[in-house]
Amino acid sequence: MEYTIAGLRLSLPGTLINRHFGRALQPFASACPGTPDLTLDAGTEVTPLPDYRELHSFEFTDADADCRFGADADGYLLEMTPRDGSAPARFRMAYGATTAQSDITPEHNPALFRFGAWTLFNIAALPHGAVAFHSSVIRYRGKGVLFLGESGTGKSTHTRLWREHIPGAELLNDDSPIIRATEREAIVFGSPWSGKTPCYRNESCPITAVVRLSQAPHNHIRRLRPIEAIGALLPSAPPAFARDERLSDDTCGLLSRLIAQVPVYHLECLPDAAAAQLSCDTVFNRQPL
């Protein structure tokens, strides 16, 4: 099955796509054949080499699994081990390759496949100047505004307040949109990964601003200086990539191109309509109607 996400073509084995992920992918189905930027071959043995080094370990709560992301001489390796004692699921992608391998089967928890596909997509997308970005995105007046923050800081609440109190505001993606940045433009794309909110739009728009949120007993917004902006954006990039030189360099280059074109703000806010209006007025009052 072939899909086009943020302009990149992804080929996935149909036997591993369950009904839920299939609904998310359906808007991105490719109507025309073409050469994939990433092909996943399943059913192949994947094991780490002796020189394997772990770059990041974390808990994947969607599948109650412990995960390790690392690298060896053959490339990158993601291993997800369910806590119920069932077999691990592994994904491997060689450096610079357009084909990845996995030993995952239809008997594995489908969430493991969904997350493995997300990780491989990001590895393949970074050399093209694209990456998934942990954020909730509003489209308004044809432009995209990305809201960032740690889990629980109110990204989804703030974008809901925009939709409720600012006519014309709509949600593009609520968790993992794809951003692409060249020297000339910065664009945000919908994706088949959107957290707990089923918002799977195969649409895109120019990015007009990025806003990092933090909870506060007041509403106050300020524009960040470039060095502050990098610090505000990096935590929203895939955290497993931060400790690998190739992936980290590509991520920082992308974010540098983004902040050269797009203002980044910090919004200290309450979960109220006034906060949404403040961020809207700040971002769009500098724009011609």
For 170-204, the pLDDT digits (tens) are 999 999 999 999 999 999 999 999 988 999 999 99
> What's the average model confidence in pLDDT over 233-248?
94
Same domain, 228 and 246: yes
Mark which of 79, 108, 128 sits at the end of a domain: 128
User: Do 19 and 116 share a domain, yes or no?
Assistant: yes
What sign does the CA torsion over 177, 117, 152, 264 have? negative
Out of 69, 97, 128, pick the residue that ends a domain. 128
* Residue 287: pLDDT over 50: no
List the domain range (segments joined by +) for residue 108: 2-128
pLDDT band per the 50, 70, 90 thresholds, residue 3: very high
pLDDT single digits (tens) 47-87: 889 999 999 999 999 999 999 999 999 999 999 999 999 99
Let me know whether 29 and 160 are in one domain. Answer: no
pLDDT tier at 289 (50, 70, 90 boundaries)? very low
Average pLDDT over residues 235-248: 94
Structural Rg of the chain based on CA atoms:
19
Please tell me the total count of domains within the chain: 2
In a domain, 160, yes or no: yes
Q: CA-CA distance, 79 to 69, in Å (whole number)?
A: 6
On whether residue 34 sits in a domain, the answer given is: yes
Specify whether 226 is located in the same domain as 272: yes
**Phi and psi based region of residue 284 (left: phi greater than 0; alpha: psi -120 to 50; beta: remaining):** alpha
Boundary-marking domain end, from 69, 95, 128: 128
- Indicate if 240 and 144 belong to the same structural domain: yes
- How confident is the model over 208-223, as a mean pLDDT? 96
Q: Report percent pLDDT > 90 for the chain.
A: 90
pLDDT at 285: 85
Q: What is the pLDDT of residue 192?
A: 97
Residue 273 falls inside a structural domain: yes
Per-residue confidence (pLDDT) for residue 167, from 0 to 100: 95
Same-domain pairing of 139 and 266: yes
User: What average pLDDT does the segment 107-127 reach?
Assistant: 96
- pLDDT, residue 286, reads 61
**117 and 146 in one domain?**
no
Same-domain status, 222 and 156: yes
The answer to the question of residue 289 being in a domain is no
Averaged pLDDT of the chain: 94
Query: Is the residue at 205 inside a domain?
Result: yes
